[in-house]
């Protein structure tokens, strides 16, 4: 700690920023690590693991004595069953909803198509809900709605007992919508297996983290045959750290991840984000709805627009943050983990988490400005989303993820009681199992078809009854 204070004082005296994070030499250069230049001079470290899939031989090729690999079969999905059947079609889900924003800050979401919700996902079909209407209040109007009226009406004097008359119903003003968004599309949702070559998993970390926090997930899913991609954000891990604050705004980082996504994307991509990384996954899912197949949000918070806090400790000069770095690391350990033992300290060290330069940390927190990412932006998503929340999380309250689940079209909420903000490091087995079940999940729309058949049958019965009544009237 004394060294940090000394370096911070020298930083203040010289006027130079504290030492920036520079690209580190990877200790395992052959274990899937790559350095990608997303822009001139902007280099990110990416861990890219491509599983070695065995060549697949079909029955016709076996009879003819000729081997044909997966690459020779027009890149069909891996696995003998997938090659025989071709690419999976999946279940077609009708995404239809009307989103209306009123001037008083009220958001009304009318679900007119198929809606799938389930609190606990056990690799089973989600519960089909009928058409419903969701009314929420925009985050920007919370304080405004609770404030008293500027000109309150005087109290009404009750009439005498003999003059009492029923009060007329209150007249409601016709609300004028400020904005209306209509969504009417169909989405094919299928099971994603590691043996299928058109599936790729993208892992995105948050502020102060690195791709190493996903170590358990990368090893687990790569062993199952999945292709995994995990980048280090600029200034984090072994990625290059530009010396200007504008390099760490939300839009600059989002463009970096767009370049990584376009470089490694397959036909069906699953995005897994943690904390601040959830916002970038939401951005990519909104920009590429046809390529993003599913999304996992781990302790990402509510569906509100991003705006930096002016009263945050991260607004202090970089030299002061450098002096306070031991205290900040201890605070992160206490708030990010449910327990603060030797195991958690070792996880932080192995995951290279919260090990960034003060300048990068300050620029990251100040650059979290994304006004487009509001409730309407999230309500427009039609991709299935799994929400994972650690019950002991002190950074993200539980009600924020619950609000996110209400606004999203296809949302599954899972709460891990023994987990906190870094739940994927604390409970890797639980998180890996939960994610794998979600990857394999495929909705069964037979219930919807039966409901439609029942509705059509009822309609036909009503028509027959009306015709019989009409005939009786004519006979009379």
Cα 144 to Cα 230: distance, rounded to the nearest angstrom: 41
Treating both helix axes as pointing N-terminal to C-terminal, what angle do 277-287 and 250-264 enclose, rounded to 10 degrees?
60
- Whether the per-residue pLDDT at 470 is higher than 70: the answer is no
Structure tokens belonging to residue 167: 């009060």
Residue 54's pLDDT band (cuts 50, 70, 90): low
Cα 135 to Cα 206: distance, rounded to the nearest angstrom: 31
Tens digit of each residue's pLDDT (9 = 90 or more) over 383-427: 999 999 999 999 999 999 999 999 999 999 999 999 999 999 999
Sequence-distant (6+) residues with CB within 8 A of 151 are none
Cα 322 to Cα 142: distance, rounded to the nearest angstrom: 36
More confident residue, 19 or 228: 228
Report the range of poorest mean pLDDT among 37-41, 139-143, 157-161, 210-214: 157-161
- Whether the per-residue pLDDT at 55 is higher than 60: the answer is no
Average pLDDT in the chain: 77
Taking phi first (over 0 means left), then psi (-120 to 50 degrees means alpha), and beta for anything else, what does residue 350 get? alpha
- Whether the per-residue pLDDT at 431 is higher than 90: the answer is yes
Report the range of poorest mean pLDDT among 14-23, 38-47, 57-66, 131-140: 14-23
Residue 124's pLDDT band (cuts 50, 70, 90): very low
Spot the catalytic one: 205, 274, 421, 436. Answer: 421
Tens digit of each residue's pLDDT (9 = 90 or more) over 228-244: 999 999 999 999 999 99
Cα 337 to Cα 331: distance, rounded to the nearest angstrom: 10
Please confirm, yes or no, whether 475 is among the known catalytic residues: no
Spot the catalytic one: 76, 114, 256, 393. Answer: 393
- Whether the per-residue pLDDT at 142 is higher than 70: the answer is no
Cα 205 to Cα 401: distance, rounded to the nearest angstrom: 18
Mean pLDDT in residue range 255-264: 98
**HEC profile of 407-443:** HCCCEEEEEECCCCCCHHHHCHHHHHHHHHHHHHCCC
pLDDT at 350: 72
CA 156 from chain centre, in angstroms, equals 51
Structure tokens belonging to residue 240: 């290059």
pLDDT at 178: 87
Residue 163's pLDDT band (cuts 50, 70, 90): low
**DSSP output for 285-331:** HHH-TTTEEEEEEES---S--B---TTSGGGS-HHHHHHTHHHHHHH
Q: What are the start-end ranges of the H helices in 1-78?
A: 2-14, 59-64
Question: Which of 352, 316, 318, 313 minimizes the C-alpha distance to 19?
Answer: 318
More confident residue, 136 or 160: 136
Please confirm, yes or no, whether 274 is among the known catalytic residues: no
Residue 113's pLDDT band (cuts 50, 70, 90): confident
- Whether the per-residue pLDDT at 438 is higher than 90: the answer is yes
Residue 345's pLDDT band (cuts 50, 70, 90): confident
pTM of full prediction above 0.85: no
- Whether the per-residue pLDDT at 292 is higher than 70: the answer is yes
Please answer whether residues 317 and 13 qualify as being in contact, where contact means their C-beta atoms are separated by less than 8 angstroms: no
Residue 32's pLDDT band (cuts 50, 70, 90): confident
- Whether the per-residue pLDDT at 454 is higher than 50: the answer is no
Tens digit of each residue's pLDDT (9 = 90 or more) over 347-387: 777 766 777 888 998 899 999 999 999 999 999 999 999 99
Mean pLDDT in residue range 270-292: 97
Spot the catalytic one: 197, 239, 275, 279. Answer: 275
Report the range of poorest mean pLDDT among 70-84, 93-107, 432-446: 70-84
Please answer whether residues 233 and 38 qualify as being in contact, where contact means their C-beta atoms are separated by less than 8 angstroms: no
pLDDT at 6: 37
Report the range of poorest mean pLDDT among 57-66, 152-161, 236-245, 325-334: 57-66
Mean pLDDT in residue range 31-45: 93
pLDDT at 118: 58
CA 12 from chain centre, in angstroms, equals 39
Please answer whether residues 11 and 17 qualify as being in contact, where contact means their C-beta atoms are separated by less than 8 angstroms: yes
User: Biggest alpha carbon distance in the chain?
Assistant: 105
CB atoms within 10 A of CB 336: 27
Local structure of residue 246 (DSSP, 8 states) = G
Mean pLDDT in residue range 169-188: 79
Could you give the strand order of the β-sheet that contains 106-111, starting from the edge strand earlier in sequence?
132-137, 106-111, 91-102, 177-189
Beta strand extents in 130-240 (DSSP E only): 132-137, 177-189, 199-204, 227-231
Please confirm, yes or no, whether 275 is among the known catalytic residues: yes
Sequence-distant (6+) residues with CB within 8 A of 250 are 279, 306, 367, 368, 369, 370
Tens digit of each residue's pLDDT (9 = 90 or more) over 184-210: 999 999 999 999 999 999 999 999 999
């Amino acid at each position: 700690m004394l060294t940090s204070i000394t370096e911070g004082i020298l930083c203040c005296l010289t006027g130079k920023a504290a030492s920036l994070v520079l690209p580190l030499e990877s200790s395992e250069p052959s274990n899937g690590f790559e350095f990608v230049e997303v822009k001139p001079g902007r280099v990110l470290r990416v861990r890219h693991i491509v599983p070695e899939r065995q060549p697949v031989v079909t029955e016709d090729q076996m009879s003819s004595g000729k081997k044909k690999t997966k690459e020779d079969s027009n890149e069909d999905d891996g696995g003998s069953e997938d090659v025989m059947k071709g690419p999976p079609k999946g279940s077609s889900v009708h995404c239809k909803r009307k989103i209306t924003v009123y001037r008083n800050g009220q958001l009304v979401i009318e679900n007119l198509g198929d809606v799938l919700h389930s609190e606990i996902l056990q690799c089973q079909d989600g519960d089909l809900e009928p058409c419903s209407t969701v009314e929420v209040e925009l985050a920007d109007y919370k304080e405004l709605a609770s404030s008293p009226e500027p000109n309150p009406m005087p109290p009404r004097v009750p009439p005498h007992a003999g003059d009492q008359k029923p009060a007329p119903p209150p007249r409601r003003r016709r609300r004028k919508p400020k904005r209306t968004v209509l969504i009417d599309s169909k989405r094919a949702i299928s099971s994603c297996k590691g043996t299928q070559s058109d599936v790729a998993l993208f892992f995105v970390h948050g502020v102060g983290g690195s791709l190493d926090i996903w170590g358990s997930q990368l090893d687990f899913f790569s062993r199952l045959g999945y292709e995994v991609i995990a980048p280090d954000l600029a200034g984090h891990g072994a990625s290059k750290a530009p010396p200007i604050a504008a390099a760490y705004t939300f839009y600059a980082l989002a463009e970096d991840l767009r370049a990584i996504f376009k470089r490694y994307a397959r036909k069906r991509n699953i995005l897994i984000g943690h904390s601040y990384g959830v916002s970038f996954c939401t951005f990519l899912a909104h920009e590429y709805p046809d390529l993003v197949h599913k999304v996992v949000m781990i302790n990402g918070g509510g569906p509100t627009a991003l705006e930096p806090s002016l009263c945050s400790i991260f607004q202090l000069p970089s030299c002061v943050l450098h002096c306070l770095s031991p205290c900040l690391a201890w605070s992160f350990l206490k708030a990010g983990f449910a327990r603060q033992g030797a195991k958690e300290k070792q996880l932080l060290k192995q995951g290279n988490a919260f090990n960034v330069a003060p300048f990068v940390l300050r620029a990251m927190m100040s650059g979290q400005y994304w006004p487009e990412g509001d409730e309407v932006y999230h309500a427009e998503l039609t991709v299935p989303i799994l929400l994972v929340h650690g019950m002991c999380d002190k950074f993200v309250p539980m009600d924020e993820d619950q609000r996110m689940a209400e606004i999203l079209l296809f949302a599954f909420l899972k709460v891990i009681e023994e987990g906190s903000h870094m739940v994927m490091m604390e409970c890797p087995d639980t998180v890996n199992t939960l994610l794998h079940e979600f990857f394999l999940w495929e909705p069964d729309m037979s219930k919807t078809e039966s409901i439609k058949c029942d509705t059509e049958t009822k309609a036909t019965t009503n028509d027959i009854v009306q015709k019989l009544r009409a005939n009786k009237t004519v006979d009379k």
